[in-house]
Structure 1
């Protein structure tokens, strides 16, 4: 079994890491893959951090978590990132793929590329995001974690303003972000 956890990860924060840890502990997959998206067709904003910086943050997160692997598959493809294409690729390596999404993404599934076929190819693990509990269809796995409202947008704003993000980011990721000055105001405004 492969568990796929995709997203912008701009930056990878403690909320992402808690989700990953809880799903990993619940399913003990053969492979747990973190996959940063090149560009989500349903998002209007591009990542502030470069692809290389987002990959580095994921490598640091995997080191802290003690499990998982990082894949640049969608970044290497360039262009829009479609989960359908990624799952199809992963099915050539394994016969079972679980895809982690948040409640916010679950409510947009009807807008996803080739969603009917995708639902046949994988199982969605819907993690409560911005809600206390999920009420998803019977064809998804509703996965509950203690609610932690941490947002990448807020973290980027706090870093741009020189505010603390202690406990919002893994300490190694925070050190990397600050050393590389990834979200300083000038760079954030330039890339937004």
Structure 2
């Protein structure tokens, strides 16, 4: 089984995340997309980052209707701080019959050379890169790499930061979130302060 790993804090998960995940599930050779929730690093205080459980629950709510997309808490069980290479090695051991790939926004390639063991990641895994509107240019070393696949996907100009800020300002952002995610945020009064 070919699994695309879509990492993120998903704070909160929004329709842009789901559109990208579903696009890849339906328009690539990937069989499943796992939305891998990045846990809160206890060594860093990040203002506005909801507890891991709440963010994971919202990803479950957002993906429950999509057979090929699922939430993953695999990084919750790994030592912190965690690196992508460690997660990949752990997943290979746990699911030896699966073939894992990474999903990332085009802007993330600019700093990819700073990732721990990025050469090993590129040697053993494929990267599916979706377009992002940004000023960043892809470094030459990644432009024609056989393991990096630029995909034609909708360009979504929507961010979790934008959503959090609008909630704080009392604006209606309901159309930007899956319905059950909006209900969960509204019920729990998240991001109001």
1:108 aligns to what SS in structure 2? helix
CA–CA distance in structure 2, aligned partners of residues 148 and 22 of structure 1: 12
CA–CA distance in structure 1, aligned partners of residues 32 and 155 of structure 2: 26
Q: TM-score, normalising length from structure 1?
A: 0.85
What residue in structure 2 maps to residue 100 of structure 1?
Answer: 103
Unaligned 5+ segments in structure 2 are: none
Q: CA deviation at 1:73?
A: 1.3
Task: Give the 3 Å change call, closer, same or farther, for CA 15–80 of structure 1 in structure 2.
Answer: same
What residue in structure 1 maps to residue 143 of structure 2?
Answer: 137
Alignment of 1:35-74 (within 5 A): 35-39=36-40, 45=46, 48-74=49-75
Task: Give the 3 Å change call, closer, same or farther, for CA 130–80 of structure 1 in structure 2.
Answer: farther
Q: CA deviation at 1:142?
A: 0.3
Number of equivalent positions: 183
More displaced 10-residue stretch of structure 1: 111-120 or 67-76:
67-76
1:64 aligns to what SS in structure 2? coil
2:64 aligns to what SS in structure 1? helix
What residue in structure 2 maps to residue 167 of structure 1?
Answer: 175
Task: Give the 3 Å change call, closer, same or farther, for CA 144–81 of structure 1 in structure 2.
Answer: farther
CA–CA distance in structure 2, aligned partners of residues 12 and 181 of structure 1: 16
Matched, 1:150 2:158: yes
Q: TM-score, normalising length from structure 2?
A: 0.85
The one of 117, 120, 125 equivalent to 2:128 is 125
The answer to whether the Cα contact below 8 Å between 1:34 and 1:71 also exists between their aligned partners in 2 is: yes
Q: CA deviation at 1:39?
A: 4.8
Deviations 1:158-178 (A, max 9, x none): 111221112211111011111
More displaced 10-residue stretch of structure 1: 79-88 or 45-54:
45-54
More displaced 10-residue stretch of structure 1: 144-153 or 87-96:
87-96
What residue in structure 1 maps to residue 115 of structure 2?
Answer: 112
Question: Over the residues paired in the alignment, what is the CA RMSD in angstroms?
Answer: 2.4
More displaced 10-residue stretch of structure 1: 29-38 or 47-56:
29-38
CA–CA distance in structure 1, aligned partners of residues 40 and 115 of structure 2: 13
What residue in structure 1 maps to residue 188 of structure 2?
Answer: 180
Unaligned 5+ segments in structure 1 are: 186-192
CA–CA distance in structure 2, aligned partners of residues 47 and 77 of structure 1: 23
What residue in structure 1 maps to residue 23 of structure 2?
Answer: 22
CA–CA distance in structure 1, aligned partners of residues 33 and 17 of structure 2: 13
Deviations 1:7-40 (A, max 9, x none): 1100101110110011001225343211111258
